Homo-oligomer: A and B are copies of this chain.
Amino acid sequence: DVDELVESDDPEHPANLIPELCRGFYTIGWVTGTGGGISIKKGNLVYLAPSGVQKERILPSHIFVLPYPQPSVVKAHTERTFLRKPKQEGLKESACTPLFWNAFDLRNAAACIHTHSQHAVMATLLWKGETFEISHQEMIKGIRIGGTGKTLSYLDTLVVPIIENTPHEEDLTDSMNAMMLKYPDAAGILVRRHGLYVWGPTWQGAKTQAECLDYLFEIGVKMKLMGL
C-alpha cells in the first residue's frame, strides 16, 4: 500500500516533518497565503507538499512521494513519475517541484525550502543588481558554501544571486539552474519580488541555512533603513 509511504509514528519521518515545519514557517511569515514550502529527499524518495493549500494545515496524507532520480524517459519540468499521490480531490504537487529538483540535482541537497519572506523580497528590491551582498555579520558563519559544503568565515562576503521573477513558477527553473551554475558557492537563490530558494545537506541544515539567510536579509534591509 503506497499510503504506508506517508504513515509513520516517527516525528522525523518526512511526511510528519513537512507539516510540522510548515506550521513553524507559517508563524514567522514565510508561507502565508499558501505560498512557499519545503521538500525533503530521503534515500531515493522525495516528499512534497501540495500546491495552493494552506501550508500550516497540511496533513501527512496530503504528501506526494516521488522517486529520485526520476526515470530518464521523463521530460524535465513537464512530466513526473510519482510513487504516491494524495487521494483528496484537487491536490496537485507543488509548483516549486522543478526548483526543488535543481537543489537536489546541482547541490546534492537533501531538503529545499522556498519562502515568501518579506525580508527576502525587500532585499531584492533594495539590491537592484544580480546579487545581494553582505559582510561582517556573525550570522554569515552559519552559511555553507554552495549550501551543503563547509561554512563560511566571518571574514567572507556573502553573495546571494537574484533571478528575475516570471508569471509561472516553473519558468524559474532554467534561470535558477543557470544562476546556480554561475555561482557554484551560492547557498540560495533569491527571486526578485518573490522570495527565496534555499537548501541544505539535511532538513536541519536547510532550515538553518534559511534562518541565517533570512536574518541577514532582515539586518541588511534595516541597515539600509538606518542609512548604514
Report A's interface with B, CB cutoff 8 A.
Answer: 29, 32-35, 53-54, 116, 118, 121-122, 125-126, 136-139, 141-142, 153-155, 165-167, 191, 193-195, 204, 207-208, 211-212, 214-215, 218-219, 221-226, 228
Contacts and interface: CB of A to CB of B under 8 A. Distances in A.
Nearest to A27: B27
A215 B208 CA distance: 24
Would you call the interface of chain A mostly helix, strand, loop, or mixed?
Answer: helix
B35 A195 contact: no
B226 A126 contact: yes
28 contacts: A29-B215, A32-B211, A32-B212, A32-B215, A33-B139, A33-B208, A33-B211, A33-B212, A35-B139, A54-B204, A54-B207, A118-B215, A118-B218, A118-B219, A122-B219, A122-B222, A125-B223, A125-B226, A126-B226, A138-B191, A138-B193, A141-B167, A154-B165, A154-B166, A154-B167, A155-B167, A221-B226, A224-B226
Given A121-B137, A136-B193, A142 B33 contact: yes
- Copies of this chain, complex-wide, total 4
Contacts of A207: 54
Contact of A138 (B54, B137, B195): B195
Contacts of A121: 137-138, 219
A221 B222 CA distance: 10
A44 to B, nearest CB: 24
Nearest to A119: B222
A182 to B, nearest CB: 23
